[in-house]
């Protein structure tokens, strides 16, 4: 029997509907969530992501403030902008679109974002809170993955979860979130020699390597839940995930597609974090 397809767009729409209501209630109290987006240079993929995030803000009633900087901007000017936005009242959350053009120090800029406005959740305070099991802003993509599992009523407790990828943006925080939900977690990366065997023993397999089709059917146990985080543009121009969808869907019990899987969830969770930020700053986080 072919797997159940996890419809990320539908789940994300449900989350956004809830947020629309929450934002309307906040507005009656004079609280308007605002997201500042810093975009340096004109990388086409980044521009697309930023446009999509700003459109979602508009649909939900979140103010968005766009700061487009030229690729030639200095580190000092970038840091000055972050500092200004940290102190700007109408800005609840700050998003620094990555990657930054060469020459700019991403970590230094990210670390300057106020922990109360770190809606991407990549800063040291946010990640520290996550590791201490007291998260405030959970990184959006891993959070989206957890919401997908929850909406399919897949409880990670006692399951073997395998995460392929160990970045700060996806792999590491996702592993911690699965651990918080009592999964037994294995993290794989480019130096893992027996990737196939490890993946084949997973109950929940999350692919976040950024390698088109790296997860093939022979690496997936029958009945496994497969979440594909990867976004890869192949030579034909088509966008595909890390999972060989057509063959793996015949073995898995649940599978998320690309596009229409984790992508929409990431944006929904960014909006969720922006609303939390607005409430923190208004002193109304309960
Ligand atoms: P990174 O390039 O930062 O990390 C990739 C990770 O995969 C690294 O840990 C790397 O190992 C590991 N890896 C690479 N090749 C292999 C391999 N052959 N076998 C095992 N592990 C491997 O990417 P990100 O974490 O930022 O993103 C991962 C993917 O997710 C990308 O396709 C990205 O586009 C996508 N993405 C999707 C989002 C969404 O909203 N759906 C949001 C963010 C990212 P090592 O550490 O050893 O180098």
Q: From first to last of its 286 residues, what are the pLDDT tens digits of the chain?
A: 799 999 999 999 999 999 999 999 999 999 999 999 999 999 999 999 999 999 999 999 999 999 999 999 999 999 999 999 999 999 999 999 999 999 999 999 999 999 999 999 999 999 999 999 999 999 999 999 999 999 999 999 999 999 999 999 999 999 999 999 999 999 999 999 999 999 999 999 999 999 999 999 999 999 999 999 999 999 999 999 999 999 999 999 999 999 999 999 999 999 999 999 999 999 876 4
**Which residue among 142, 193, 202, 210 has the greatest number of ligand 1 atoms within 8 angstroms of its CB, and so is best to mutate?**
210
Distance in Å, CA 209 to ligand 1 centroid: 3
Q: And the tokens for 65? A: 């403030």
Residues with CB under 6 A from ligand 1: 141, 164-167, 169-171, 188-192, 195, 208-211, 214, 229-232, 262-263, 266
How far, in Å, is the centroid of ligand 1 from the Cα of 76?
29
Pocket test for ligand 1, best of 173, 202, 229, 267 (most atoms within 8 A of CB): 229
Q: Is the model's pTM score more than 0.85?
A: yes
Which residues make Cβ contacts (< 8 Å) with residue 194, sequence separation at least 6?
A: none
Which residues lie below 8 Å from residue 71, measured CB to CB, with a gap of 6+?
40, 41, 42, 101
The crossing angle, in degrees rounded to 10, of helices 262-281 and 44-60 is 60
Choose the residue to mutate in 164, 189, 192 for probing ligand 1, maximizing ligand atoms within 8 Å of C-beta: 189
CA of 125 to the centre of ligand 1 (A): 23
Does residue 182 come out as left (phi exceeding 0), alpha (psi in the -120 to 50 range) or beta? left
Residue 229 C-alpha to ligand 1 middle, in angstroms? 8
Give the pair of three-digit tokens for residue 191.
Answer: 């130096």
239-240 and 232-233: which strand pairing?
Answer: antiparallel
* Contacts of 82 by beta carbon, 8 Å cutoff, 6+ apart: 38, 94, 96, 109, 112, 113
Please say whether the dihedral angle defined by the alpha carbons of residues 190, 196, 197 and 200, taken in this order, is positive or negative. positive
Peptide bond into 268 cis (omega under 30): no
**Ligand 1: nearest atom to the Cα of 209:** 7
The closest residue, in CA terms, to atom 17 on ligand 1 is 190
Q: Which atom of ligand 1 is nearest to the CA of 262?
A: 41
Q: For the chain, first and last CA: distance in Å?
A: 45
Do residues 264 and 270 make contact, with C-beta atoms less than 8 angstroms apart?
Answer: no
Q: Which helix (H) or strand (E) holds 78?
A: helix 75-86
With contact defined as beta carbons under 8 Å apart, do 112 and 100 qualify?
Answer: no
Distance 173 CA to ligand 1 centre (A): 13
Nearest to 277 by CA among 121, 53, 122, 171: 121
| Active site positions, annotated | 53, 97, 120
């Amino acid at each position: 029997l072919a797997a159940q397809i996890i419809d990320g767009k539908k789940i994300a729409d449900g989350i956004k509907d809830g947020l629309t209501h929450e934002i309307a209630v906040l507005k009656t109290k004079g609280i308007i969530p605002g997201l500042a987006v810093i975009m340096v240079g004109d990388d086409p993929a980044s521009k697309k992501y930023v446009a999509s995030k700003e459109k979602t803000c508009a649909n939900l009633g979140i103010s968005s403030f766009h700061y487009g900087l030229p690729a030639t901007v200095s580190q000092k000017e970038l840091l000055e902008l972050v500092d200004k936005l940290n102190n700007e009242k109408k800005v609840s959350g700050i998003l620094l679109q990555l990657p930054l053009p060469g020459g700019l120090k991403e970590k230094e800029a990210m670390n300057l974002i106020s922990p109360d406005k770190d809606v991407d959740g990549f800063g040291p305070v946010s990640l520290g809170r996550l590791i201490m099991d007291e998260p405030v802003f959970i990184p959006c993509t891993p959070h989206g993955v957890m919401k997908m599992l929850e909406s399919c009523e897949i409880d990670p407790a006692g399951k073997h979860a395998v995460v392929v990828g160990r970045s700060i943006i996806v792999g590491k925080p996702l592993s911690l979130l699965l651990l918080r939900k009592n999964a037994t977690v294995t993290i794989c990366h480019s130096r893992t020699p027996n990737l196939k065997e490890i993946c084949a023993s997973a109950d929940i397999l999350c692919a976040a390597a950024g390698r088109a089709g790296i997860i093939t059917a022979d690496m997936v146990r029958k009945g496994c839940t497969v979440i594909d985080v990867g976004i890869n543009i192949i030579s034909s121009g088509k966008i595909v995930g890390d999972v060989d969808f057509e063959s793996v869907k015949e073995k898995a019990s649940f599978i998320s597609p690309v596009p229409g899987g984790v992508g929409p969830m990431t944006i929904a969770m960014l909006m969720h974090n922006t609303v939390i930020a607005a409430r923190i700053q208004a002193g109304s986080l309960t």
